[in-house]
Structure 1
Amino acid sequence: MAISSAGIGSGLDVESIVSKLVALEKRPIAKLESAATSIQSKISTYSQLKSLMSTFSDAASKLTRDSGWNGMAATSSNSSAVAVSVTGIASATSFGISVQQLARAQSVASTAITTPNAPVGGGTMTIQLGTWLHTSPPPTFTAGSAAAVDVTVGATDSLTQIAAKINDANAGVTATVLRDATGERLLVRSKTTGEASGFRIQVAEDGGAPGLSALAFDPQNSAGVGMAANAIQYAQNTKAKINGIDISSANTTFADAVPGLSIVVSQVTTSDAEVSVTSDTASMKKNITAFVDAYNAINDLLSASTKYDDETKTAGIFQGDSSAVALQNALRQQVAATMSGDGVYKRLSDIGIDMQRGGKLVVTGSKLDAALKNPEALKAMFATNVATDSDSNGLGVKLKAYTSSLLSFDGMMNSKADALSAAVKRNAAEQDKVNDRAAAMEKRLRAQYTALDTKMGSLSALNSYISQQVSQWNKS
């Protein structure tokens, strides 16, 4: 019977011998795995650094745009009645605005019909949109540009059915049936507000089914007939005054009264609401603060990654990495640079942004607030762009160009990431080589010890045979 386990023939602990020899052959794997972990940590940190660099680039870019420095903010002394917002290019200004009336839709109602769902009468209702001049009797109607719409009413149609037909006709009005203690009423209301959203309803009755005139509304030609006999809410525009000058709107928004501003009114006022439009220094300060925060985030990451901690005896992931150290130094030099030209502000410290030991920027709020009172000088410091002389460009322009080069396809960030990815592949290839050598060695050792077992088994059998023969000879 064949030997089923290495070592049976020789009596050696072959499994232990082979395992230990293979383990010795695989010893370099531990060092390679540790190196792979370190490389992956570097890749992760560079990915984080790249994201922070992109944020910093965007922050610098905002400081180069006219919109970042020309922004305006609008305030109202009575925002509950008059709300103001900047919607375009606005100029610094101030004015008073008062509201005399708010826009509304036209609304009329029929006389109550005491029997629910009863027929009203047949015929045709002609609905025309337009403007009513009703301030002095008699009211006069001027038709709008939209064509009149005819609604055919059957002799057996109820108010509910008539309301549905009016709504389906898309005539610029909505119809609703109201039920109260006296019966059913038809309510008709224009879909939009403003004087031009008024409407007239003329009726041509079916002689065989009279009664539809109860739903007519034409106070110019038929005063006191149909819905004109009841309370009327005529459509009207919003009316206001800016510094005493009349303005009007079909709704509650004045979008073009003052260039770059949207004015929304919600209440009639008894006195002027004071509106002020000034430079939006809050947004400017926010953009500058975001710029400082974005730089500090990069500086903090690079500082933590390149330092050596004496207390814990541990080195940062990029400790001794020349690329990371050079990047940190270059950023600090760029940020701390003195601007050329004859601008009011030459360096960040002039506007209250100081660099501390370790490269971190700290903002002195009061000094920055003082600088924000001169937005043109601040803009010149950050956004000056001289195509023929890059040295004369503003800080934001320079940093945007620098960070864009770092983040470009063939820039330092991508080149470093590619190098680390290549290192991961080389490491994996080295591990494969070690494993392949160990596997080949194990196969070779097992073959050798199997051959040894076979040979030792043969020699043992021969020894037993010779011993038997000698014993027989001795007996003879």
Structure 2
Amino acid sequence: MALTATGIGSGLDISNIVSVLVDAEKTPKETLFTKTETKIDAKVSAMGTLKSSLSTFQDAVKKLQSGEFLNIRTVSTGDSDFFTAKADQYSQPGSYEIKVEQLAQSQKLAGANVTDPTLGVGEGSLDFSVNGESFSIAIEFTDSLSSIASKINSSSVNSGVTATVIKSDAGSRLIFTSKDTGTDNQMTVLATDSSGTGLSNMFNGASLETLQEAKNSIISIDGQTLTSQSNTIDDAISGVTFSLTKAEVGSISTLTIAQDTESVKKNIETFVSAYNSLLTSMDSLSSFDVDEGTASALQGDSIIRSLESQLRKMVSERVSVDGVESALYELGISTDRDGKLSIDDDKLTDAVTNNMSLIEGVFSTSDTGVAYKFDELVKTYTKSGGVIDSRNNTYTSEKSRISDQREAFTLKMEQLEARLLKQFNAMDLIVSQLNSQSSSLTNSLASLPGVIRE
């Protein structure tokens, strides 16, 4: 008769014995799998930290690629209500006397008033001409003022007219406004009736009232008068854009443009700080703690070694500025014994104040400037398919391979467990049979004649 439970024949806890034997085989290997996966995860995380540090450094570098962030200007208009101004790197520091004598404005024309704006006003067309461009709008007999305005505003051939319905005590009327300011953008409106005289009565001749004339802006700079179609003027002073807000004949404002040395210094200081933070991050990611005997995730990694080597090389490289070889140290930026940058404030202030061409040349010379070289270096690491992406792909492959190995090992352990159970159960059955035979033999001997029982 077969055994229905393990261990009955031998009295052994077979399930526990098999479990202990399987665990002895399984635990070291699974521990190794887990340890390897943990190391890979730590490296992936470290690569993410490195990429973030590189991106922060790159943001600081980009601000030094353009004169927009290096050759910065401050603009002062005092307490003027008449204009605001912006100055780019091409503007020259100086002071200017400004008079805003007239603002540019759009032309506004209005049709005749009607009592009920929901009724149709006529049938035919409205023809507009603005700055040499013309377009026509077909008007149906049932079109209300709002419908006419909608047709004008939504027309794909509209060359610069906005239509609005305005209600007043006198009734409702259609207002036409040129979209752009200045006398070049004056409108002409002609109503043509195909039935009746409704459109002509509303929009032709004396029925078309001028609410606002088209005007050009007039500005005086140091006594020189400039007329413009717009209230935004960007060709009066080289590198300066005016936005006119108010006009008053005779009122004088002062525009002062100066070199913004503090902002330039701040951008350079931000670059130095970002560079040093990047080195600190790289050192942390690749360090070894002697006291604890533990290594960081990228300790000894070739990516860190290569990147650090390239960064330090670029810091010391010279750049040709107007035929003269220059470098960061001439701006007061030097490296210390740990490879980090430090700033000689007096030397940097002097360069920013008196030699902006040197600042721009060292940092923003196209392709060869320090800012361009650093940017290109960072891109090789952070771009899609770059060094970091390639390394992460390697880590992904390693984790996938470990996952496959773990799955295969799990199957192997299941087979080992099944084999051991089968072997122990076979042994248990034999022991049970031997015990049974031993008991039967003992009973037979005990029943023989002459056997004396004590």
* TM-score bin, normalised by smaller chain: 0.7 to 0.9
Contact 1:74 1:278 in 2 (8 A): yes
For 2:83, the equivalent position in structure 1 comes to 82
Task: Give 1:173 deviation, angstroms.
Answer: 5.5
Separation in structure 1 between the aligned mates of residue 201 and residue 313 of structure 2, nearest angstrom: 83
Aligned residue type for 2:271: F
Contact 1:97 1:243 in 2 (8 A): yes
For 2:359, the equivalent position in structure 1 comes to 378
Contact 1:26 1:438 in 2 (8 A): yes
Task: Give 1:295 deviation, angstroms.
Answer: 1.8
Q: How many residues in Structure 1 have an aligned counterpart in Structure 2? A: 438
Going from structure 1 to structure 2, the CA distance change for 1:241 and 1:129 (only over 3 Å counts) comes to farther
Aligned residue type for 1:195: T
Aligned residue type for 2:359: L
Of 199, 212, 224, the residue aligned with 1:245 is 224
Task: Give 1:46 deviation, angstroms.
Answer: 2.1
Separation in structure 1 between the aligned mates of residue 74 and residue 362 of structure 2, nearest angstrom: 22
Separation in structure 1 between the aligned mates of residue 117 and residue 358 of structure 2, nearest angstrom: 76
Confirm or deny that 1:333 pairs with 2:326: no
Confirm or deny that 1:52 pairs with 2:53: yes
Q: How does 1:85-164 map to 2 (within 5 A)?
A: 85=86, 90-92=90-92, 94=94, 95-107=96-108, 129=129, 145-147=132-134, 161-162=144-145, 164=147
Of 268, 271, 278, the residue aligned with 1:298 is 278
Of 148, 161, 173, the residue aligned with 1:165 is 148
For 1:321, the equivalent position in structure 2 comes to 300
Q: How does 1:53-72 map to 2 (within 5 A)?
A: 53-57=54-58, 59-60=60-61, 63-64=64-65, 69=70
Contact 2:285 2:299 in 1 (8 A): no
Separation in structure 2 between the aligned mates of residue 166 and residue 473 of structure 1, nearest angstrom: 129
Of 450, 454, 464, the residue aligned with 2:425 is 450
Separation in structure 2 between the aligned mates of residue 247 and residue 272 of structure 1, nearest angstrom: 15
Q: Secondary structure at the match of 1:188?
A: strand
Q: How does 1:280-295 map to 2 (within 5 A)?
A: 281=261, 284-295=264-275
TM-score (norm 2): 0.75
Q: Secondary structure at the match of 1:26?
A: helix
Q: Secondary structure at the match of 1:451?
A: helix
Going from structure 1 to structure 2, the CA distance change for 1:258 and 1:475 (only over 3 Å counts) comes to farther
For 1:195, the equivalent position in structure 2 comes to 183
Aligned residue type for 2:241: S
For 1:22, the equivalent position in structure 2 comes to 22
Unaligned runs of 5+ in 2: none
Unaligned runs of 5+ in 1: 131-143, 219-224, 387-392
For 2:438, the equivalent position in structure 1 comes to 463
Separation in structure 2 between the aligned mates of residue 226 and residue 20 of structure 1, nearest angstrom: 105
Going from structure 1 to structure 2, the CA distance change for 1:22 and 1:318 (only over 3 Å counts) comes to same
Separation in structure 2 between the aligned mates of residue 425 and residue 151 of structure 1, nearest angstrom: 69
Query: Aligned Cα RMSD in Å?
Result: 4.5
Aligned residue type for 2:2: A
Q: Secondary structure at the match of 2:272?
A: helix
Deviations along 1:110-134, one digit per CA (max 9) or x if unpaired, are 7766x6579998787866547xxxx
Task: Give 1:288 deviation, angstroms.
Answer: 2.5
Q: Secondary structure at the match of 1:189?
A: strand
Aligned residue type for 1:24: A
Q: Secondary structure at the match of 2:254?
A: strand
Confirm or deny that 1:176 pairs with 2:165: yes
Deviations along 1:34-85, one digit per CA (max 9) or x if unpaired, are 2321222022102321343355356446545566656666554456432223
For 1:266, the equivalent position in structure 2 comes to 245
Separation in structure 1 between the aligned mates of residue 324 and residue 377 of structure 2, nearest angstrom: 22
Q: How does 1:416-435 map to 2 (within 5 A)?
A: 416-417=391-392, 420-421=395-396, 423-424=398-399, 427-428=402-403, 431=406, 435=410
Deviations along 1:264-313, one digit per CA (max 9) or x if unpaired, are 211114434434555665664454334323322322222223334567x2
Contact 2:279 2:308 in 1 (8 A): no
Q: Secondary structure at the match of 1:263?
A: strand
Going from structure 1 to structure 2, the CA distance change for 1:441 and 1:163 (only over 3 Å counts) comes to closer
